[in-house]
Amino acid sequence: MSSSLKVTLPDGTILDLPPGATTLDVASKIGAGLARAAVAGKVTRDGHSEIMDLSRPLPGDCCIKILTKSDDDPDALYVLRHSTAHVMAEAVCKLFPETQLVYGPPLEDGFYYDIDLPRSITPEDFAAIEAEMARIVKEDRKFTRLEMNRADGMAKLAAEQNRYKVDNAERAEGDTLSFYVTGDRCGQDFEDLCRGPHIPSTGVIGAFKVRQVSGSHYRGDVNDQRLQRVYGTAFFKKASLAAHLEQLEQAKARDHRVIGQELGLFTIDPLVGSGLILWKPKGATIRLLLEEHLRGKLREQGYQPVFSPHVGRLELYRTSGHFPYYRDSQFPPLYETETARLLNELWIALYEADKAGAADPLAGGVAKLLDELRIADPPKHAELVADPAKPDARRLASGPGHAAQNLQLVREHLQQSDGFLLKPMNCPHHVRIYASEPRSYKDLPIRLAEFGTVYRYEQSGELSGLTRVRGFTQDDAHLFCTPEQLPHELDACLSLTRYVLDMLGLGQYRVRIGLHDPKDPKFIHNPEGWRRAEEAIRVAAAASGMAATEEVGEAAFYGPKIDFVVKDCIGRQWQLGTVQVDYNLPERFNLTYVGPDNRPHRPVMIHRAPFGSMERFVGILIEHFAGAFPLWLSPVQMAVVTVSEKSDAYAREVHEKLRVAGFRAELDLSSEKIGPKKHRHRQAKVNYILVVGESEAAKGEVNVNDRDGKTLGNRPLEAFIEECRRESEERKA
């Protein structure tokens, strides 16, 4: 062990310090000002970085970056907010002594603390919590780290009788447990089991706010204890908090639900149903322009159009696996007859009894359904249920080992009378289009495209404007190809998805590789299929050069996927485009093509949707542009505004010429002054406002104004049309 510690600073300087030196010692050695501003140290050793308390001894030779009171440094804010979470927790415990603390991490823009408290915390409590926090901050108490060996620590926690902390500690790594005391009077001041790091003292917290409270569940498990999650945020400087809150306010003005209402793009009507979008003409125009543009691209890339209906037989979805597995998020099935309903319920009950490994598949729920069937349809009941005197292979069998046979039997009876499902996905329909004729390897790849509307019964609490709905249209396509063609096709799908995002200037997306979780039964069991599909996905993502994160459990139930994820105006993340590889549905539907060897082969499927859902995409786009769409997408591109009635005739002429030239123009002959008229069209985000008065009429000109309030001056109408034509064709975002 060396007698001194070598500490490398970000600029490359190496400092020698005595063993046991702390980050604060490093800061002090550099300068007293830095020591005052320091809040923690980011210590890097062996390529591994860790943020440490100012007062903790450095672990050995290392690189160090001193984190200071800077609202521009995410690391510094992370530490600050973690500490502020402790302060808030103390305040809540003081006000509500029966509070049990659970977990309080920092977030990207603040922090939360999960608490177990019988009484509901409401926004009215925030002022009292903040006042208590302000007191703690004013006392400028030191954060003191306390380490204990695991046994002592566990004993201490057991004495506190807080199951959550005991749980947390049990899951913590290492032989020691650490606690942080907010103050230096251990045993008296507030303390919490915590890994750290923390700011040196509460006085460092310059500004904070308790923002909201919501429900949560312990460890994210709906069956576990319900908790309250109190959210807050903190900054070093008051001005930063004010700026942050101001920014949140401004973000709200971009909200597509607000803009959609103001600009008359869409509406959601309770009488029609929650989560069902009514596209008004202006919103429909935007969507249609996007669809038309993509259709052109698809033609270029060899896609073929198809159309399929909004419903399909339940048998279709039993084959695909959609039914009954995801029936909680499907609209209820439409049954042809009461017998069909009961047989379907029976099939589901048998299916679930089998999954659950029930000893007797005909017991419990199944028996009850059979009783119902006996009353509703005695002949069908007789056909299904065995006479104990005469065993028969064509009857339902009790006892273990008959699950597959029973399921098959009910399914056969369902051929006579079944039910329908509002389609949750387009793929089963497209698969049947593929299967409708013999396919040769020479025909592959076959790319079937449809703007297909699907219906999913999302939980009521999930619905949100255009971004989470119950009926939406996917710019869907299914590609059927040979395994050899897969990499090339995947690559083309990824490029297309990136093309649409880049075209609209949506550059801030995250790429997520969704993989299946072998432990989760919701994924189709086909290890080899998953292996090949996930391999293909990884290779394609890597080849595209995009930085992607792999997330286990995020796959579709039939295959892994690459998702393009964007954030909305309040920071929520939404999946837009998606590209998925599927070895499973071709198997379930027994799809084939004839290969060069004159033998049948199994095709591979790609599911892909560059926009994802038209609803969600347009919602995100509204927020991206704050309603001010580029010329080519704008529902109202220009408004012709008269100075007075004297120019009405000329205004009509201008309006008509714009219309003939293919533009979407509005004519405003109202008898107001041009100030308020112009103001109104600017509010409506009309790209160009053309003021026409007597002088314009005399010269055949228009006076061009943009929606930002700038007057661009006069020019001949023809010249303006030409300018707009160019701008529109450029599709500048």
Catalytic residue from among 65, 141, 282, 478: 478
Stretch that binds RNA, among 117-125, 303-311, 473-481, 503-511 (CB under 7 A): 117-125
List all residues 6 or more positions away from 673 whose beta carbon is below 8 Å from its beta carbon.
Answer: none
Q: How far apart are CA 180 and CA 56, in angstroms?
A: 13
Should residue 465 be labelled a site residue for RNA when binding is judged by CB under 7 A?
yes
Among residue numbers 522 through 541, which ones bind RNA (CB under 7 A)?
522
Residue from 15, 172, 298, 463 touching RNA (CB under 7 A): that is: 463
> Is 411 annotated in the active site?
no
Catalytic residue from among 42, 607, 677, 685: 607
Should residue 436 be labelled a site residue for RNA when binding is judged by CB under 7 A?
no
Catalytic residue from among 62, 93, 194, 427: 427
Among residue numbers 498 through 527, which ones bind RNA (CB under 7 A)?
522
Among residue numbers 697 through 716, which ones bind RNA (CB under 7 A)?
703, 705, 709, 711
Residue among 147 and 718 whose Cβ is closer to RNA:
718
Cα dihedral 624, 630, 636, 641 sign: positive
1, 46, 117, 162, 188 from 224: Cα distances, Å = 49, 40, 14, 15, 32
Amino acid at the residue 202: T
> Is 82 annotated in the active site?
no
Among residues 5, 4, 147, the alpha carbon closest in space to that of 64 is found at 5
Should residue 694 be labelled a site residue for RNA when binding is judged by CB under 7 A?
yes
Should residue 256 be labelled a site residue for RNA when binding is judged by CB under 7 A?
no
List all residues 6 or more positions away from 400 whose beta carbon is below 8 Å from its beta carbon.
Answer: 359, 360, 361
Residue among 24 and 425 whose Cβ is closer to RNA:
425
Should residue 329 be labelled a site residue for RNA when binding is judged by CB under 7 A?
yes
Residue among 385 and 565 whose Cβ is closer to RNA:
565
Q: How far apart are CA 254 and CA 247, in angstroms?
A: 11
Q: How far apart are CA 529 and CA 230, in angstroms?
A: 44
Should residue 611 be labelled a site residue for RNA when binding is judged by CB under 7 A?
no
Catalytic residue from among 25, 114, 255, 476: 476
Pattern 545-584, binding to RNA, x per CB under 7 A? Answer: ---------xxxxx-----------xxx------------
Q: How far apart are CA 360 and CA 357, in angstroms?
A: 9
Q: How far apart are CA 41 and CA 22, in angstroms?
A: 9
Should residue 122 be labelled a site residue for RNA when binding is judged by CB under 7 A?
yes
CB atoms within 10 A of CB 72: 9
Should residue 216 be labelled a site residue for RNA when binding is judged by CB under 7 A?
yes
Q: How far apart are CA 193 and CA 174, in angstroms?
A: 14
Stretch that binds RNA, among 323-331, 338-346, 389-397, 716-724 (CB under 7 A): 323-331
Among residue numbers 27 through 66, which ones bind RNA (CB under 7 A)?
none
Q: Minimum CB separation from RNA for residue 345, in Å?
A: 18
Burial 659-698 (b: 16+ CB within 10 A, else e): eeeebbbbbbeeeeebeebbebbbebbbbbbbbbbeebbe
Should residue 257 be labelled a site residue for RNA when binding is judged by CB under 7 A?
yes
Residue among 322 and 439 whose Cβ is closer to RNA:
322
Q: How far apart are CA 607 and CA 605, in angstroms?
A: 6
| CA angle (364 as vertex; 358, 369 as ends), nearest 5 | 120
| CA angle (32 as vertex; 30, 37 as ends), nearest 5 | 95
> Is 456 annotated in the active site?
yes
> Is 427 annotated in the active site?
yes
Q: Minimum CB separation from RNA for residue 9, in Å?
A: 38
Pattern 356-385, binding to RNA, x per CB under 7 A? Answer: ------------------------------
Residue from 284, 693, 715, 731 touching RNA (CB under 7 A): that is: 693
Should residue 461 be labelled a site residue for RNA when binding is judged by CB under 7 A?
yes
> Is 125 annotated in the active site?
no
Say how many residues make up the chain.
733
> Is 225 annotated in the active site?
no
Catalytic residue from among 244, 430, 498, 561: 561
Q: Minimum CB separation from RNA for residue 25, in Å?
A: 40
> Is 186 annotated in the active site?
no
Give backbone dihedrals phi and psi of 57, rounded to 5 degrees, phi first.
Answer: -60, 140
Among residue numbers 172 through 211, which ones bind RNA (CB under 7 A)?
none
Q: Minimum CB separation from RNA for residue 22, in Å?
A: 36
Should residue 226 be labelled a site residue for RNA when binding is judged by CB under 7 A?
yes
Should residue 464 be labelled a site residue for RNA when binding is judged by CB under 7 A?
yes
Q: How far apart are CA 391 and CA 384, in angstroms?
A: 12
85, 89, 212, 435, 562 from 121: Cα distances, Å = 16, 13, 10, 58, 40
Catalytic residue from among 456, 516, 608, 677: 456
Residue among 666 and 727 whose Cβ is closer to RNA:
666
Tell me, by CB under 7 A, how many residues bind RNA: 73
Give backbone dihedrals phi and psi of 63, rounded to 5 degrees, phi first.
Answer: -95, 145
12, 313, 471, 498 from 451: Cα distances, Å = 57, 20, 13, 19
What amino acid positions are annotated as catalytic residues? 427, 456, 474, 476, 478, 561, 607
